[in-house]
Amino acid sequence: MALANGRLTDNVINISAGSTSDVVTVASDKNVYVKSIIAHNVSTATTARGHVYYVPNGDSVADTTRLFDVSINPQETVYIEPIYPIVLTTTGDKISIGSTDADLNVFIVGDKEA
């Protein structure tokens, strides 16, 4: 199994306040290994809550699929690094990120099967 190492998002992704976006999705049953998530609160005055969801294929973003709920102070950057990578294995499995009260910029690093 060959792995393509590096970033799982092509660019920094902006998550608007009060919304949730899919940021990584498995294609063609190729395993994806999420090693770290970098999130930056772009607001100069408002604290945001960042939510990270593991959403299995056919499921939806919900409290039951939330892995992390992180408070991010204005202009603060947080680094979420699970002790073991989050492994997505089935076509359609995805990582979604949500934000409350302020925009977040996010970037995801990991590996995927080539």
Domains detected in the chain: 3-113 (2.60.120)
Per-residue model confidence (pLDDT) at position 1: 63
- Per residue in 11-56, pLDDT (tens digit) is 999 999 999 999 999 998 899 999 999 999 999 999 999 999 999 9
pTM, whole model, 2 decimals? 0.92
- Tokens describing residue 41: 């609160």
Measured CA to CA, the distance from residue 110 to residue 83 in angstroms comes to 13
Per-residue model confidence (pLDDT) at position 111: 94
